[in-house]
Amino acid sequence: MTQNNNSKILTPDICVIGAGSGGLSVAAAAAAFGVDVVLIEKGKMGGDCLNYGCVPSKALIAAGKAAATFRSSEKFGVVATEPEVDFSRVNDHVHDVIATIAPHDSVERFEGLGVNVIQGAAEFISADTVKVGEQLIKARRFVVATGSSAAVPPIPGIDDTPYLTNENLFELKERPEHLIIIGAGPIGMEMAQAHRRLGSRVTVIEALRPLAVTDYDHADLVIRKMEDEGVEILSETKVLSVEKTEVGVKVSIKVDDEAEGTVEGSHLLIAAGRAPNISSLGLEAAGIEFTRRGITTDDGLRTTNRRVYAIGDVAGGVQFTHAAGAHASLVVRSILFRMPINHNSITMPAVTYTEPEIGQVGLSEQQARTKLGDKLKVLTAEFSGNDRALAEGKGVGQIKLLADNKGRLVGASIVGPGAGEQIGLLTLMISQKLKVGALLGVVFPYPTLNEGIRRAALTYYADAPKNPWVRRILALLRKFG
C-alpha cells in the first residue's frame, strides 16, 4: 500500500467498510493473495453476528434447551424436575462464547494477516474517496459491508418507553419476569422459546402470521409446540401504542381489527425486522443509489458507482450471515480475478433455530404450486418413522421435498430434530439441479436422521408398482427366466 505523505491519503487496492462476517471474509481473502487492504469498522470487530446476533442468540437457545431437558426427561425413565436457572450465569455463558470466538475476528489477527485496520466511522466524500476522521482512503475498489440493525417501528409512545433489541438483549443479567416480544419472525420466535424455557413468562405479538415466510404446515407445528411450552402467541394483532409503567411496560393492542386490550410485562423486545446501516455513509457523495431496503446493486453486487460493491444485509436482500459470506466469495472473484458473478445464482438455505428447528431451501410449497401447478410433486416423510428420532424422543416433525414432473428438486422444508444440519444436503441438490433419484443411490448410515430424506425421495416412485407398463415389462422379463 502506498501513502502520500503530503495529503496523508491511503491508496489501497481494496477498502472494505464493515468488519462483520462479509467484510472480514473479503479482507482475509484479499490479504491472503497479497493484495493491499484497508478494513474500516466503527463498532466491534465481528459485527452484529458475533456480538449481538447469531452467536449470542444460539448460546442463549442452547441454555434454554438444557433447561427444557430437565422438564422432558420422564419419557426416558429419568425423573423430570423443574431446573434452577441462574440467569446471571446464563449471561456469563453467552459472553464466554462470544469471547472464545472474538480472537478469530480481532484487530490483532487481521493486522497479522496484513490488513490495515482502521477503527472509526467511514464516510464517502467523493466517488473514489472515503474519510475516517482526518484519514483519507482512496481505493481502486470499495466493498460496503456495514450490515443492518434492528428496525424499530413508529409505534406511538415508543420514544418514551424502555425497550430491548438484539443489541442490548444479551446484556440482561436478571431474568425478565414477563417478556413481551413485538414480531414473530425467526428472531422473535427463537428468543420467545429460549426465554420461556429459562423461566420467563413470554407473550409474542404479531400483526400478521407467525413465521410468515416459512412453510405453513411446518410453522404451525412450531407454533403449537411453543404454545404447549407456555408461550402466548397473539397473531393478526395490531400494536396500537406502548407506554412505560411503574413495573415495566404496557402494550395496547387490537385483535382482528375489532377487540382492543392491553398486555403488561416487565420487558419489551422489538423484533420487527432489520434496517440497513447506510445513514452515515455519505452514499450520495459517491453517486451510490439506495432505498430504505438497502444499497441498490446489480446482479454482480456492484452499486451505481462501479468502483463500489455492496454485500450482505446492506445490499437489501436476504439477511443471513451465510449470505454475507457467499457474497464475499463472489466479490473476491470479481475484484481479484475479473470473473463474472451473479449473486442470484446462489442457492440460499434458511434455518429457524426453534425446537423443533425449521430448515428450508429453494421454493416454498406455495411458490412451487404457483409456478408448477399440477406438475408439482410433494414428497413427505414423518420423523415418527425415523428410528434415530424415536430413540431420542424427537419423533415429531416432517421432511417435505418439492419436485417437478421430471423429478428435479426445486424446494425443500424440514421441521424436526437437526433440520438445520440436514438442509445442507438438499441445498447441494438444488444448486446442482439434481433429481430426487440421486438420493436413492446414497447409503446413509443407520440410524441417522438423514434416512428420512431418502424415505421422502422414495415416495416419488410410490405409484410405479401400479403402472401397467411397469407390470407388463416385469411379466415379459419373467418369461426369460
Residues 308 and 373 in one domain: no
Residues 12 and 144 in one domain: yes
Q: How many residues does the chain have?
A: 481
Residues 300 and 424 in one domain: no
Residues 166 and 266 in one domain: yes
Domain of residue 236, residue span: 158-272
**CA–CA–CA angle 105, 64, 84 (5° rounding):** 120
Residue 2 is predicted with a pLDDT of: 40
Residues 366 and 416 in one domain: yes
Residues 15 and 132 in one domain: yes
Residue 476 is predicted with a pLDDT of: 73
Average pLDDT rounded to a whole number, residues 203-223: 96
CATH number at residue 462: 3.30.390.30
- Give the Å distances, CA to CA, from 217 to 23, 181, 186, 414, 455: 37, 23, 16, 10, 19
Assess whether pLDDT exceeds 50 at residue 385: yes
Average pLDDT rounded to a whole number, residues 214-238: 97
The amino acid at residue 163 is Y
Output the average pLDDT for the chain: 95
Give the model's confidence band at 479: pLDDT under 50 very low, under 70 low, under 90 confident, else very high: confident
Residue 5 is predicted with a pLDDT of: 40
Query: In the structure grid, which three cell numbers stand for residue 21, read together?
Result: 462476517
Cβ 46 vs Cβ 105: under 8 Å: yes
Q: Does residue 66 belong to any structural domain of this protein? A: no
pTM: predicted TM-score of the whole model, two decimal places? 0.93
CATH number at residue 295: 3.50.50.60
Question: Could you tell me which residue, 224 or 255, shows the higher pLDDT?
Answer: 224
Residue 435 is predicted with a pLDDT of: 95
Residue 463 is predicted with a pLDDT of: 67
Residues 360 and 444 in one domain: yes
Residues 267 and 398 in one domain: no
Residues 125 and 38 in one domain: yes
Instruction: Report the relative pairing of strands 350-352 and 357-362 from DSSP bridges.
Output: antiparallel
Query: In the structure grid, which three cell numbers stand for residue 23, read together?
Result: 467484510
Assess whether pLDDT exceeds 90 at residue 94: yes
Q: Does residue 318 belong to any structural domain of this protein? A: yes
**Backbone dihedral region of 154: left (phi > 0), alpha (psi from -120 to 50 degrees) or beta?**
beta
Residue 6 is predicted with a pLDDT of: 39
User: How confident is the model over 362-384, as pLDDT tens digits?
Assistant: 999 999 999 999 999 999 999 99
